Homo-oligomer: A and B are copies of this chain.
Amino acid sequence: MSNPITPSSAEPVVTATDPIPVPVNRIPTPATTPPDILRCAYMEIVVTDLAASRKFYVDVLDLVVTEEDETTVYLRSFEEFIHHNLVLRQGPVAAVAAFSYRVRSPEDLDRAVAFYTELGCRVERRAEGYVKGIGDSVRVEDPLGFPYEFFYDVEHVERLAWRYDLYTPGALVRLDHFNQVTPDVPRAVAYMEDLGFRVTEDIQDEAGTTYAAWMRRKPTVHDTAMTGGDGPRMHHVAFATHEKHNIIAICDKLGALRMSDVIERGPGRHGVSNAFYLYIRDPDGHRIEIYTQDYYTGDPDNPVVTWDVHDNQRRDWWGNAVVPSWYTDASLVLDLDGEPKPVVSRTDDSELEVTIGADGFSYTRKGDEAQGFKLGNTL
């Protein structure tokens, strides 16, 4: 039986099974079996003013403190049962120290070591873990320059899902995904597919230039995404709420606290992922997304949605403008010595440039010329 994809009536959405072009300078596929990754589990970020960051994440965003000391705060979301989803560590330079994934078994750490060793990457393993609450773990500088961590062993803590006496209007219930900036998206995707990830959606142009790709292990739209740009850098880390009004409540609270200027983009509805979203910036400029309601992607033949970079509804389904900083700003990442990784420039076309301003071109309806009163048209 053939599996014809019925094209969506939303015309510029194209679906296909394997839409990303073959990369020119492919990272070789290791012969060894990759680790069986369950999900993105936590991010460790370096902040330059721990008190200010604690206030932002705990007092404003209402993340739950599992544990803290003078230099570090361990935070989790309401439905989490592992020790943390976010680590704030005091340091001299705002950056990301680890993108951490949970794997299915302790043996998967051996597989991670073999996989990255074969790739020629720097690999370190610590039986006692790198941060509190996490046991035996592996950290690597991956082929794209990102500090990736893998662990299985973890301290269990109370899952606060039923603790409605503690919920706040904007309660964050789950870590949803990471988003990484890298110059060559097809090259990054091919490596991530070797690591066991699957593409769910992507943005391309007619020439096949790939601007971004979303990839998953758990059956949501993504555990991480690759966004084309100067990298390696961290674009954002995303937490989920239950409903859309929870995200609106966060905006309202930021207004009441006279902190509305931390709202960078949104709230809005994504085209890609179909989720409702908000982007805010923490005191160091690290970008946080609040996200709710994407869709199940767990079947191996889950249709891949390819968006035209010129479709003005791809990034915001309502066609609202993407602020330039959202394309240009991102956080540095650290190597395993804790030093910032040098950033390599993207040489492919930039999504910002091809879509906004005098040289850009975006449409609401394919064939119609861009027009109207949208702010994005006037930039």
Contacts and interface: CB of A to CB of B under 8 A. Distances in A.
A39 B301 CA distance: 13
A162 B255 contact: yes
Given A154-B3, A258-B364, A375-B323, A318 B251 contact: yes
Secondary structure dominating the interface of A = loop
How many copies the complex holds: the figure is: 4
Interface size class of A (residues with CB under 8 A): 35 or more
Interface in A42-97: 79, 81-82
A192 interface: no
Contact of A317 (B9, B157, B252): B252
A325 interface: yes
Interface string A303-329: 100000000110001111101111001
Contact of A3 (B10, B156, B168): B156
A293 interface: yes
B13 A261 contact: no
Contacts of A7: 158
Interface string A260-298: 110110010101001010000100000000000101101
B255 A313 contact: yes
A124 interface: no
- Among A105, A271, A295, the one with the most B-chain Cβ atoms within 10 Å of its Cβ is A295
A158 B11 CA distance: 12
